[in-house]
Amino acid sequence: MGAWGVLRRIGVLAALSLLATPLTGPSQAASAKDTLRAVPQGGAVRLSALRDDTRYRDTFLREFDSLTPENGLKMAALQPRRGRFDFTAADELVDFARRHGKAVHGHALVWGLSLPLWLVDHGASDQLGLRLPPIVLPRLPGALGQGLAEGATVLTGWRRDELLAIMRTHIATVMRHFAGRVAEWDVVNEPMAADGGPAPSVWRRFIGPDYVELALRAARAADPKAKLFINEFGVEGPGRKLEGLLELVRHLRARDVPLDGIGLQMHSHILGFHDQATLEHTMRRFAALGLEVQVTEMDVGTSLLDALALDRLARQAEAYGAAARACNAVAACKRFTTWGITDRLSWIGAGEAPLLFDAAYRPKPAFAAVRSAFAPRRAKPAAARQSRRWRWRAGTGARCGWGSCSGLRAGRG
Ligand code: XIL
């Protein structure tokens, strides 16, 4: 079992303890009488699979309305050397989407992970001309996770002004490059820690927690037409992390910081998913602050201890159905995206079988649950034609607020 397998097992054990306390929220049940809306359905996509696997491409083109590059727009991919941007693969992916009438959700401009090594080793590798693989740190809970996330930058450090310039240049260069082609962006990914404060990252550490505000302002300046999102996991239900994110949004609103929406990643498991009423309640809280909401990365792991005789696929369909019906019921929810297309290619491993299509591209019960939550999708004539042609051809430590935080080590300068 790989590292992720071990982590997922830990997750399963944690989820088991949740069984005793059902994840129910406010009592008002969501109504079956809700009008069905045609909410666009998205999928996280890998360019290599689009190129190599006809069934992958056909399934995506047939069943999905929009595409989120799974890794292709992350900083490690786009700025492998300091100041040198490489848009070759990203352009291919974005142009593929546009050719087929699919929207692109840009993911993600500023995140503490999937960074190029030169950023986390303070430029040493870049100066030596090394092109090393990006650092993708595993997400571990608690102090160990925090230590790992900060450890990468512990030996060196950035000056605040230097790292700020790097962040602004990255945002401006990427957003201008895709302006008119990518209409919405996760500007800041995963800014929250489990305790409701700022999550550790190179950005938070050396710029300070106001990096969120500065990133959003830079994004609005770079492409005034783009919709700007903060994207987060583990905030779908009640808890300190959700309250912390709401507090951040209120802080940003009070300071007139541009922000259009919140992405709820919705990585879930059959033993620990939220019911529809809870999810609706969360979505409405963001909507009440004037924000759009999207489900941005849903998957539902199905690994189980063998002793539990549960119908995994039925439970998975329940989890997906609850999220999709919540999204349908809240007018501010504008997109429903799963973190992948097929169980064959999921970031948490095929064994979790977490997606809507199985490894042989057959639709699962979860697929029907999602589809029945929304009105039938409007066929896009151009996309449909293209699709047929394709088939034919292919056969801190310190707790602090969200302003600049003097108590925090925010760089040397
Ligand atoms: C994941 C990708 O799916 C993996 O292929 C990659 O190795 C690491 O990143 N939250 C996010 C996504 O915002 O960017 C992550 O994607 C999954 C968790």
Full residue range of the structural domain in which residue 127 is found:
33-394
**Alpha-carbon 301 to chain mean position:** 16
Please tell me the total count of domains within the chain: 1
pLDDT at 92: 98
Q: Is 192 within the bounds of a domain?
A: yes
Q: Is 14 within the bounds of a domain?
A: no
Q: Is 271 within the bounds of a domain?
A: yes
Task: Kindly report the protein residue whose alpha carbon is nearest to atom 13 of ligand 1.
Answer: 189
CATH number of the domain at 211, please. Answer: 3.20.20.80
Which of 70, 185, 266, 296 best tests ligand 1's pocket when mutated (most atoms within 8 Å of CB)?
Answer: 70
Q: Is 219 within the bounds of a domain?
A: yes
Q: Is 400 within the bounds of a domain?
A: no
Q: Which of the residues 63, 184, 190, 292 is marked catalytic?
A: 190
Q: Is 182 within the bounds of a domain?
A: yes
- Separation of CA 160 and ligand 1 centre (Å): 27
Closest by CA position to 370, among listed 303, 310, 295: 295
Q: Which residues line ligand 1 (CB under 6 A)?
A: 70-71, 114, 136, 189, 265, 297, 347
Give dist(CA 105, CA 263) in Å, integer.
11
Task: Answer yes or no: pTM beyond 0.75.
Answer: yes
Q: Which of the residues 63, 70, 236, 297 is marked catalytic?
A: 297
Q: Is 304 within the bounds of a domain?
A: yes
Give dist(CA 86, CA 174) in Å, integer.
10
Q: What is the pLDDT along the chain (413 residues), one digit of tens a residue?
A: 344 443 444 344 344 434 433 344 443 444 545 699 999 999 999 999 999 999 999 999 999 999 999 999 999 999 999 999 999 999 999 999 999 999 999 999 999 999 998 898 777 777 777 766 655 556 666 777 666 655 555 455 788 999 999 999 999 999 999 999 999 999 999 999 999 999 999 999 899 999 999 999 999 999 999 999 999 999 999 999 999 999 999 999 999 999 999 999 999 999 999 999 999 999 999 999 999 999 999 999 999 876 676 799 999 999 999 999 999 999 999 999 999 999 999 999 999 999 999 999 999 999 999 999 999 976 654 444 444 433 323 323 334 466 644 333 333 22
Closest by CA position to 216, among listed 238, 250, 186: 186
pLDDT at 310: 76
Q: Is 18 within the bounds of a domain?
A: no
236 flagged as catalytic:
no
> Exposure of 271 by Cβ count < 10 A (0-12 exposed, 13-18 middle, 19+ buried)?
buried
